[in-house]
Structure 1
């Protein structure tokens, strides 16, 4: 068998990325809100029905905004009505509570009786809250992710139930000069402590310029870690993004292990949008919802069922 020269393989990969990106340009991105205050920096599925809001399960999502000034929006509920329309409902932050600065991720708490979530800032501050049937935020506890290196900038966080234990996974975004960093550790409900278990560097092949290697992350039921990555040169773009299957979490005896993917190939290269939010949809089809923080251009979502 003739050996294919490496430069042909590289060229073929580049062509494939460009073809998929061209196809993605015709994908139906649905606008959510206009303006820099409404970028979607994290998204989580609402599993329980919020009856008084007419929000049935699997159609409603909690989204977070990365605003920094007190009084600007932090949390909203997004209801998706088929392929036709969206409802955006901002939720007031609880009176007298500490205001989060720069929310960048949100995770649903697995196997929770309530609609419970943890939202995380770029500095690692975590806000555990529930939504009642009216969609009102009930703030439960505030804590911090431990042992973050100086200059960490988190953009992804998730919670994954494995062997009856709750695994927390979080990610430093990185840059063109700096690898992204994935971290994981066990979460203890008794004292709201995370016990770090490991870390791994993350560097994606595309986007190549102004890159954030980790702009969000989620772990599916099988333990597969998905990350989004984005190009962000500034508030006016241009933006590009991709989603990657980055590795697998599994147990080895009583130890948690992360096995990174042997190679990273972009699953959904997207031209013109900055994906900062990723969530799975229920059902056998393995659908996903992607949300964008396109800065001055506002926010969009894309559902893939």
Structure 2
């Protein structure tokens, strides 16, 4: 397989708007659960750094998602599937996947590609985006592309894809920011594939975002999800060390849209108008707004030495 590395410099529009799995391991029912959180990993290699919806089981609101892990050493788990059953915790399961291709370091987000069957984009923290095809329990690398216009010192934890009313796709991602001195920078650009299957980004727009909560050891944007209407939902997290304490919040950061031709994006980052949804004791690094009108999302945590947890919550509005 030949991977093409391109330097893409363009400029786009955006406001704000995925990931890691649980360790390939035992079913989640063996782990303790508190406040509706279900444990899907029990150590620092099995946290959820990003997740993407991959299917819904019939009946009880069960959700299937691919999760990525931010592991860095060769041979460690990179991607898994979580089957989350909120009404039947003992049936929540984690299935490890094989990674076929150039092994990444520090995967932080994953997103399904709209209009495809089994294709996903996974982002590493330094800005490399892996195009994956998932078949069975294997994720095969199809291509590798850097994000455009990567700022010096950037650390990315989020990547999302949204679809406009015209069927065009927009990409939204963010440098996570750090503490009071460095807000997150949110980027947005039209997104497509060229004739060689390489990801291409159009003109990039950017805007700053500061989370109102939590305080201290702040990552202003730890993940992004874009709703059908273009609302950008972000998670923010506080990480004081491998044993915590942790705190997180989910809030609306703004809106993103594309023009009819899909050639330009508009990004609006809004001043926070309402209190964020708070989740103390957890470090949320994955948020995926689910289809439907109830505003529910699947949340995932990377609680370092405490492992990884998932939970559904109504944080995406109506």
The TM-score range, normalised by the shorter chain, is 0.7 to 0.9
Q: Is the 8 A contact 1:246 1:264 kept in 2?
A: no
Compared CA separation, residues 253 and 91, structure 1 to 2 (3 A): closer
Distance in 2 separating the partners of 1:82 and 1:213: 28
Native 8 Å contact 1:45 1:108 kept in 2: yes
Indicate conservation of the 8 Å contact 2:252/2:272, yes or no: no
Give yes or no for contact 1:46–1:57 (8 Å, CA) kept in 2.
no
Q: What residue number does 1:92 align with?
A: 98
Q: Residue 209 of structure 1 corresponds to which residue in structure 2?
A: 216
Counterparts of residues 188-199 of structure 1 (less than 5 Å)? 188-190=192-194, 191-199=198-206
- CA contact under 8 A between 1:123 and 1:153: conserved in structure 2? yes
Question: Are residues 1:283 and 2:289 paired?
Answer: no
CA distance in 2, matches of 1:271, 1:57: 25
Instruction: Report the Cα offset of residue 252 of structure 1.
Output: 5.8
* 1:38-61 superposed Cα distances (whole Å, 9 cap, x missing partner): 110001000388xxxx9x996210
- Seen in structure 2, the aligned counterparts of structure 1 residues 252 and 127 have a Cα distance that, compared at 3 Å, is closer
Corresponding residue number in structure 1 for 2:68: 64
Change (3 A) 1:104 1:146: same
Tell me if the contact between 1:38 and 1:298 (Cα under 8 Å) persists in the aligned partners.
Answer: yes
Matched, 1:169 2:169: no
The partner residue of 1:139 within 141, 161, 168 is: 141
Q: How does 1:1-305 map to 2 (within 5 A)?
A: 27-47=35-55, 59-84=63-88, 85=90, 86-94=92-100, 97-112=101-116, 114-132=117-135, 134-162=136-164, 163-176=166-179, 177-190=181-194, 191-251=198-258, 255-304=264-313
Q: What's the CA shift for 1:256? A: 2.0
Residues 27, 264 of structure 1: CA spacing in aligned structure 2 closer, same or farther, 3 A cutoff?
farther
TM-score by length of 2: 0.80
- 8 Å CA contact 2:53, 2:66 repeated in 1: yes
Cα distance change on mapping 1:58 and 1:184 into 2, 3 Å: farther
- Structure 2 CA distance for aligned equivalents of residues 150 and 142 of structure 1: 20
- The RMSD of aligned alpha carbons is 2.2
* Structure 1 residue runs without a partner (length 5+): 1-24
**Larger relative CO (CA 8 A, sep 6+): 1 or 2?**
2
The 3-state SS of whatever aligns with 1:296 is helix
Q: Output the CA distance in 2 between the equivalents of 1:83 and 1:282.
A: 18
Unaligned runs of 5+ residues in structure 2 are 1-32
Displacement of 1:284 after TM fit?
2.3
Give the aligned length: 272
